[in-house]
Amino acid sequence: MPRIFVMSNVCTCCDDDGQWLGECLGCWEDNLDYLNELVDCKGYWHVDAEQIGWRNYSGELTFEAENAEEWINHIVGFKCEWTFCISVISENKTSIVAKVYHHDSPTGESRYIRRLTDEEWDKLTLEEYE
Protein backbone atom coordinates (compact mmCIF):
# COMPACT_ATOMS: atom_id res chain seq x y z
CA MET A 1 0.00 0.00 0.00
CA PRO A 2 1.37 3.47 -0.76
CA ARG A 3 2.18 5.73 2.15
CA ILE A 4 0.41 9.09 2.02
CA PHE A 5 1.91 10.41 5.26
CA VAL A 6 4.64 9.24 7.64
CA MET A 7 5.27 10.78 11.06
CA SER A 8 7.59 9.83 13.89
CA ASN A 9 8.11 11.14 17.39
CA VAL A 10 11.87 10.64 17.02
CA CYS A 11 13.78 13.87 16.43
CA THR A 12 15.41 14.11 13.02
CA CYS A 13 17.48 17.15 13.98
CA CYS A 14 20.20 14.94 15.49
CA ASP A 15 22.21 12.07 14.08
CA ASP A 16 22.15 8.52 15.50
CA ASP A 17 24.72 9.50 18.14
CA GLY A 18 22.57 12.42 19.34
CA GLN A 19 24.83 15.04 17.77
CA TRP A 20 23.08 18.25 16.71
CA LEU A 21 22.93 18.58 12.93
CA GLY A 22 22.98 22.37 13.13
CA GLU A 23 19.42 23.08 12.06
CA CYS A 24 16.03 22.26 13.51
CA LEU A 25 13.69 21.23 10.76
CA GLY A 26 10.59 21.95 12.86
CA CYS A 27 9.66 18.36 12.28
CA TRP A 28 7.08 17.85 15.05
CA GLU A 29 5.07 21.04 14.53
CA ASP A 30 5.35 20.87 10.74
CA ASN A 31 4.13 17.27 10.77
CA LEU A 32 1.20 18.17 13.04
CA ASP A 33 0.22 21.00 10.69
CA TYR A 34 0.43 18.74 7.64
CA LEU A 35 -1.47 15.95 9.42
CA ASN A 36 -4.25 18.39 10.23
CA GLU A 37 -4.41 19.48 6.58
CA LEU A 38 -4.72 15.84 5.49
CA VAL A 39 -7.20 14.68 8.10
CA ASP A 40 -8.87 17.73 9.71
CA CYS A 41 -8.27 16.22 13.15
CA LYS A 42 -10.73 18.20 15.27
CA GLY A 43 -13.85 16.21 16.04
CA TYR A 44 -15.14 12.85 17.21
CA TRP A 45 -13.35 9.63 16.18
CA HIS A 46 -13.54 5.85 16.51
CA VAL A 47 -10.48 3.60 16.11
CA ASP A 48 -10.35 -0.17 15.69
CA ALA A 49 -6.85 -1.51 16.25
CA GLU A 50 -5.36 -4.92 15.46
CA GLN A 51 -2.01 -6.60 16.17
CA ILE A 52 -1.33 -4.38 19.20
CA GLY A 53 2.04 -5.03 20.81
CA TRP A 54 3.99 -8.27 20.95
CA ARG A 55 0.88 -10.17 22.10
CA ASN A 56 -1.14 -9.03 19.05
CA TYR A 57 -4.14 -7.76 20.97
CA SER A 58 -7.12 -6.02 19.37
CA GLY A 59 -9.04 -3.08 20.74
CA GLU A 60 -11.10 -0.03 20.03
CA LEU A 61 -11.29 3.56 21.21
CA THR A 62 -13.75 6.40 20.79
CA PHE A 63 -12.45 9.90 21.52
CA GLU A 64 -12.76 13.62 20.88
CA ALA A 65 -9.77 15.61 19.63
CA GLU A 66 -9.34 19.37 19.58
CA ASN A 67 -6.20 19.37 17.45
CA ALA A 68 -3.70 17.18 15.58
CA GLU A 69 -1.51 16.53 18.63
CA GLU A 70 -4.45 15.19 20.66
CA TRP A 71 -5.55 13.14 17.66
CA ILE A 72 -2.16 11.47 17.12
CA ASN A 73 -1.73 10.81 20.85
CA HIS A 74 -5.07 8.98 20.95
CA ILE A 75 -4.35 7.03 17.77
CA VAL A 76 -0.82 5.96 18.74
CA GLY A 77 -1.28 5.75 22.50
CA PHE A 78 2.37 5.01 23.38
CA LYS A 79 5.05 6.82 25.34
CA CYS A 80 7.90 5.17 23.39
CA GLU A 81 9.50 5.88 20.01
CA TRP A 82 7.02 5.23 17.22
CA THR A 83 6.37 5.79 13.54
CA PHE A 84 2.85 6.40 12.19
CA CYS A 85 1.99 5.78 8.52
CA ILE A 86 -1.29 6.66 6.79
CA SER A 87 -1.90 4.62 3.66
CA VAL A 88 -5.53 5.47 2.81
CA ILE A 89 -7.71 8.53 3.39
CA SER A 90 -11.24 8.63 2.01
CA GLU A 91 -12.08 11.58 -0.21
CA ASN A 92 -14.28 13.18 2.45
CA LYS A 93 -11.64 12.57 5.20
CA THR A 94 -13.95 10.34 7.25
CA SER A 95 -12.09 7.00 6.95
CA ILE A 96 -8.38 6.38 7.39
CA VAL A 97 -6.22 3.25 7.30
CA ALA A 98 -2.90 3.50 9.11
CA LYS A 99 -0.11 1.54 10.80
CA VAL A 100 1.88 2.27 13.95
CA TYR A 101 5.39 0.85 14.30
CA HIS A 102 7.34 0.65 17.58
CA HIS A 103 9.71 -1.65 19.46
CA ASP A 104 6.97 -4.13 20.52
CA SER A 105 5.48 -4.19 17.03
CA PRO A 106 8.21 -3.76 14.41
CA THR A 107 5.93 -5.14 11.67
CA GLY A 108 3.21 -2.65 12.57
CA GLU A 109 -0.17 -2.42 14.23
CA SER A 110 -3.20 -1.72 12.07
CA ARG A 111 -5.48 1.23 12.80
CA TYR A 112 -8.86 1.69 11.12
CA ILE A 113 -9.97 5.22 11.95
CA ARG A 114 -13.42 6.68 11.32
CA ARG A 115 -14.83 10.15 11.95
CA LEU A 116 -18.06 10.05 13.97
CA THR A 117 -21.03 12.28 13.32
CA ASP A 118 -22.42 14.35 16.17
CA GLU A 119 -25.37 11.95 16.35
CA GLU A 120 -23.09 8.89 16.61
CA TRP A 121 -21.03 10.59 19.34
CA ASP A 122 -24.16 11.56 21.31
CA LYS A 123 -25.51 8.02 21.07
CA LEU A 124 -22.21 6.47 22.20
CA THR A 125 -21.75 8.84 25.13
CA LEU A 126 -25.37 8.40 26.25
CA GLU A 127 -25.03 4.59 26.15
CA GLU A 128 -22.09 4.83 28.58
CA TYR A 129 -24.34 6.31 31.26
CA GLU A 130 -27.35 4.00 30.86
47-106: pLDDT as tens digits = 999 999 889 999 999 999 999 999 999 999 878 889 999 988 888 888 999 999 999 999
- Please write the tens of the pLDDT for every residue from 29-39: 888 999 999 99
DSSP 117: P
pLDDT, position 31:
87
Distance CA 90, CA 113 (A): 11
Across-strand partners of 111? 49, 98
pLDDT, position 23:
65
pLDDT, position 3:
63
Where residue 114 falls among pLDDT bands split at 50, 70, 90?
very high
Of 50, 59, 45, 57, residue with least CA distance to 110: 50
pLDDT above 70 (res 130):
no
On whether the pTM is more than 0.85, the answer is no
pLDDT above 90 (res 129):
no
pLDDT, position 75:
94
pLDDT, position 118:
94
